[in-house]
């Protein structure tokens, strides 16, 4: 019987979908973060359902010659060596669309949390310092009539833009592709100009060699004094040490981060700051969304192993 290996327990109906058709092995322990342990677990499986923490490298692909399809349970697939997969003839699939709204909600929650100082405000109350309403208590920054600069105007970027429009913001974006006709419409600008003119910048670009440290110290300093950075995409898009320096210099108004350059480690300089809201990579973390992601990943793997086109291909295999 065809073997499928899932590197984590899968929510929703995903495990049933797979176990009905294949011999399913599920790894239920700590994440497989090493190449050796990942390759050993996948072994002779024809399909693998993988998480962001699993390094699906060339070594892993070469050590698992039976593998036909990698079903990454995420929209991002920077944990997979897609060039090596293409060379090895292995399909790679992802889980777009189903997580768009949940991730945009969380990005928007971070915009509000930073600009309205929600972390500080909650800590103020819980520590017993709230003595009553005051005109100058915990003032934040309003969003109305200000510009949000969205870096990467794909599905999630546009979903964040819809939330920004509802809050009365003007939307501008930067993207590798022309965004004419996108909904909602956004003024497309070169990245430097976008950064220099936005009160809030939200990152939604994929991570690859060309976007690593896309926001380096020079670009962070282009942002207007008091501007806010939100990153729910991938940590290495931002030079984290540079971000700490720029925050410490008082140039930025704060940051909302769900992802980190050396995840799960967080730069100690960020942990110290009260103008930074830090979340543990939970952009898509709703029961509904995680079930939908797992089920889409299962549908991708099933389709390939049954000889059909998967719903969400990234790399076409043989
Ligand atoms: C993804 O899907 O790429 C996220 O980072 C996890 O939801």
Cβ neighbours of 61 (radius 10 Å): 23
How far does the centroid of ligand 1 lie from the alpha carbon of residue 139, in Å? 33
| pLDDT band at residue 155 under the 50/70/90 scheme | very high
Atom of ligand 1 nearest to the CA of 285: 7
Q: Whose CA is nearest to atom 4 of ligand 1?
A: 74
The rounded distance, in Å, linking the Cα atoms of 106 and 98 is: 14
pTM across the whole model: 0.96
DSSP string, 205-263: PPPSTTTTTSB-HHHHHHSPTT-EEEE-S-GGGB-HHHHHHHHHTT-SSEEEES--TTT
**CA dist., res. 272 & res. 39, Å (int):** 38
Share of the chain above pLDDT 90, in %: 100
Average pLDDT over residues 191-218: 98
Per-residue pLDDT, 2: 98
Asked whether 314 lines ligand 1 (CB < 6 A), one says no
Query: In 3D, which of 268, 275, 231 has the Cα closest to residue 251?
Result: 275
Residue closest by Cα to atom 2 of ligand 1: 74
Give the pLDDT of residue 5: 98
Tell me what pLDDT residue 226 has: 98
Same domain as 264, residue 128: yes
Same structural domain, 129 and 190: yes
Which is the closest atom of ligand 1 to the Cα of 283?
Answer: 7
Q: Is 98 in the pocket of ligand 1 (CB under 6 A)?
A: no
Residue 88: give its domain's CATH number.
3.40.50.720
Shared domain check, 8 and 74: yes
What pLDDT, on a 0 to 100 scale, did the predictor assign at position 29? 92
Mean pLDDT score across all residues of the chain: 98
Question: Given pLDDT bands bounded at 50, 70 and 90, which one contains residue 261?
Answer: very high
Is residue 263 flagged as an active site residue? yes
Ligand 1 atom having least distance to the Cα of 74: 2
- Supply the pLDDT for residue 111: 98
Q: Are residues 126 and 272 in the same domain?
A: yes
Do 86 and 123 lie in one domain? The reply is no
Are residues 70 and 157 located together in one domain of the fold? no
CA distance 1 to 25: 12
Domain residue limits at 118: 100-278
183 and 263 assigned to the same domain: yes
My answer on whether 233 and 121 are in the same domain is yes
> In the chain, how many H helices and how many E strands?
12, 13
CB-based contacts of 123, cutoff 8 Å, min separation 6: none
For tokens 């971000």, name the residue: 243
Catalytic residue among 117, 147, 234, 290: 234
Give the span between the Cα atoms of 200 and 107, in whole angstroms. 11
For ligand 1, say whether the CB of 75 is within 6 Å of any of its atoms: yes
**Nearest-CA residue for atom 7 of ligand 1:** 284
Q: Do 125 and 235 fall within a single domain?
A: yes
How many structural domains is the chain composed of? Answer: 2
Residues 105 and 144 in one domain: yes
Check whether residue 147 and residue 265 sit in a common domain. yes
CB of 99 within 6 A of ligand 1: the answer is yes
Scanning the chain, the segments in alpha helix (DSSP H) are 14-19, 35-42, 58-63, 82-88, 100-115, 118-126, 155-166, 191-197, 217-222, 240-248, 268-271, 287-305
CA dihedral 253, 237, 158, 154 (to 10 degrees): 170
- What pLDDT digit, counting tens, does each position of 100-151 carry? 999 999 999 999 999 999 999 999 999 999 999 999 999 999 999 999 999 9
Name the pLDDT band for 173 (thresholds 50, 70, 90).
Answer: very high
Question: How confident is the model over 269-312, as pLDDT tens digits?
Answer: 999 999 999 999 999 999 999 999 999 999 999 999 999 999 99
pLDDT in tens, 3-27: 999 999 999 999 999 999 999 999 9
Residues 266 and 308 in one domain: no
Ligand 1 in reach of 284 Cβ (< 6 A): yes
Nearest CA to ligand 1 atom 1: 74
For residue 26, the model assigns a pLDDT of 98
């Amino acid at each position: 019987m065809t073997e499928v290996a899932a590197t984590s327990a899968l929510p929703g109906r995903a495990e049933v979908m797979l176990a009905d058709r294949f011999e399913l092995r599920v790894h239920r322990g700590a994440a497989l973060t090493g190449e050796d342990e990942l390759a050993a677990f996948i072994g002779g499986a024809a399909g693998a359902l993988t998480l962001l923490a699993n390094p699906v490298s060339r070594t892993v692909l070469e050590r698992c010659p039976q593998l036909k399809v990698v079903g990454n349970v995420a929209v991002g697939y920077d944990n997979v060596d897609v060039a090596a997969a293409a060379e090895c003839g292995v399909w790679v699939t992802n889980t777009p669309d189903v997580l768009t709204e949940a991730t945009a909600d969380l990005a928007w929650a971070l915009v509000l949390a930073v600009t309205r100082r929600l972390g500080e405000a909650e800590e103020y109350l819980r520590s017993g310092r709230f003595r009553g309403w005051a005109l100058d208590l915990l003032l934040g920054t309003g969003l109305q009539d200000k510009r949000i600069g969205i870096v990467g105007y794909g599905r999630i970027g546009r979903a964040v833009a819809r939330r920004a429009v509802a809050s009365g913001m003007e939307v501008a974006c930067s993207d590798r592709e022309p965004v004419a006709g996108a909904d909602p419409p956004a003024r497309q600008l070169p990245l430097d100009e976008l950064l220099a003119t936005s009160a809030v910048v939200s990152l939604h670009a994929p991570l690859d060699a060309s976007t690593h440290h896309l926001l380096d110290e020079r670009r962070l300093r282009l942002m207007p004094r008091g501007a806010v950075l939100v990153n729910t995409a991938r940590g290495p898009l931002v030079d984290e040490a540079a971000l700490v320096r720029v925050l410490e210099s008082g140039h930025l108004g704060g940051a909302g981060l769900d992802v980190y350059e050396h995840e799960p480690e967080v730069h100690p300089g960020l942990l110290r700051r009260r103008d930074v809201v830090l979340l543990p990579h939970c952009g898509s973390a709703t029961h509904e969304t995680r079930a939908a992601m797992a089920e889409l990943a299962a549908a991708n793997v099933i389709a390939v192993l049954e000889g059909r086109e998967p719903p969400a291909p990234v790399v076409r295999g043989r």
